[in-house]
Amino acid sequence: MTELLQKVRVIDPVSKIDELFDVLIADGYIQEVASHITDISPDTPIRDCRGLVIGPGLVDLYSHSGEPGFEERETLLSLLQSATAGGFTRISILPNTSPAIDNPALVAQLQQKKAEGQRSMAGTHNAGRGGRGAEENLSPLLPCSPAPLLHIWGAITLDVAGKQMTELADLASAGVVGFSDGKPLENLALVRRVLEYVQPLGKPVAFWPSDRQLAANGVMREGPDALRFGLPPIPASAETTAIAAMLELVATIGTPVHIMRVSTSRSVELIASAKAAGLPITASTTWMHLLLDTKAIKSYNTSLHLEPPLGNPSDVAALRAGVRAGVIDAIVIDHTPYSYEEKVQAFAEAPPGAIGLELALPLLWQYLVETEEFTALELWRALSISPAECLGQKVSAILPHQPAELTLFDPQQTWKVERKSLYTLSQNTPWLGQQMKGHVVQTWR
């Protein structure tokens, strides 16, 4: 299929372009990018894209699937639909499912389910959101948008229990994208062995550094707001001491490591120093840690109970500066669906996590780009090419003869965050019931 997008704002962090162009797409490839394209066949569809933004497809480094084990929270199909609606063309799921993704047989099973979900999406672009039927649907699934590529993280330890290492080589042969438990590993001797074993496999390994003993029963970041709201605090040192230990092991072993869920200002300093010293590390923070701080918890909305917890205002400022400077490589979604019943509890008792695949780009654009704190290129880089690079992958530039893996976004379109306007099966977000500005129009892959 051939299509001409006229006067679209091209944001390409690969070639560092942010300009208005016409873009001609045909048969899965970009055919031409120019100020004005006129040499097209008479039957080529033309789309007026004034006011719209196009950039490389978004890449999510890690999120959670309810399937297998908790399909009432999220199925692979609803996860793929939610990712597409959010502009993601690649998504990677963590292994802490039930059962955990700790053996090649389960990897093969999920790859089969993934293929079924992708075929289902290809045949049901006009199905209702969340599989609930067209009568409840505000807008159909993005027209002609394919399912995103779904990558699978293999568990580092059996049943992600942090005790016995999995058969990493077998998981690598089964096609996992990399290794992570998605949970803190307290046993540093085990972490050291993992770094030694994984080195020849050529796969990324991601750790969430957190000292559970220091965190204890805390549920929000230590500081004035924790005292004010009467919630058990988690000191920043629960994260920073674990990061410091991880960096020492990386310096000793030399295996490249990705540091997940960075949430404190001191962590940004430690990572910056380590990178300056040449350590082979990358790092990520979640989109909600860039937008909200501890003051938001005054509502006691359980969707603000996150792991790690939201930071103090100084942490948010440092994280934003870290992303802009490239110290923090990637913005991740860490989409964590829970049912209504699971989240309707006291703040400290509710399971931590929130959804975000369909909300992240609109909110980040509105509060970081439109306020001119970030440039569009800085935001798009952290959501596309940088997370891909953390996985050892590449994203193509928006240039002639390159694959058309793209996201078309309308920064001004408004919609309401509610059950019938979301593809995810869960609604655990503090923005539920609110008006949103910014909506993905289409993806190509």
Label each residue of the chain as H, E or C: CEEEEEEEEEEECCCCEEEEEEEEEECCEEEEEECCCCCCCCCCCEEECCCCEEEECEEEEEECCCCCCCCCCCCHHHHHHHHHHCCEEEEEECCCCCCCCCCHHHHHHHHHHHHHHHHHHHHCCCCCHHHCCHHHCCCCCCCCCCCCEEEEEECCEHHHCCCCECCHHHHHHHCCCEECCCCCCCCHHHHHHHHHHHHHHCCCEEECCCCHHHHCCCCEECCHHHHHHCCCEECCHHHHHHHHHHHHHHHHHCCCEEECCCCCHHHHHHHHHHHHCCCCEEEEEEHHHHHCCHHHHHHCCHHHCCCCCCCCHHHHHHHHHHHHHCCCCEEECCCCCCCHHHHCCCCCCCCCCCCCCCCHHHHHHHHHHCCCCCCHHHHHHHHCHHHHHHCCCCCCCCCCCCECCEEEEEEEEEEECCHHHCCCCCCCCCCCCCEEEEEEEEEEC
Closest Cα to residue 143, out of 118, 116, 115, 124?
124
Closest Cα to residue 331, out of 286, 366, 362, 374?
286
Catalytic residue among 170, 293, 334, 410: 334
**Judging by DSSP bridges, how do beta strands 46-48 and 53-56 pair with one another?**
unpaired
Phi and psi at 219, nearest 5°, equal -135, -5
CA distance 139 to 445: 21
Active site (annotated) includes residue 334: yes
206 near 250, Cβ under 8 Å?
no
Q: How many CB atoms lie within 10 A of CB 241?
A: 17
| CB hemisphere CA count around 2 (13 angstroms) | 10
425 near 337, Cβ under 8 Å?
yes
CA distance 223 to 199: 39
Residues with catalytic roles: 334
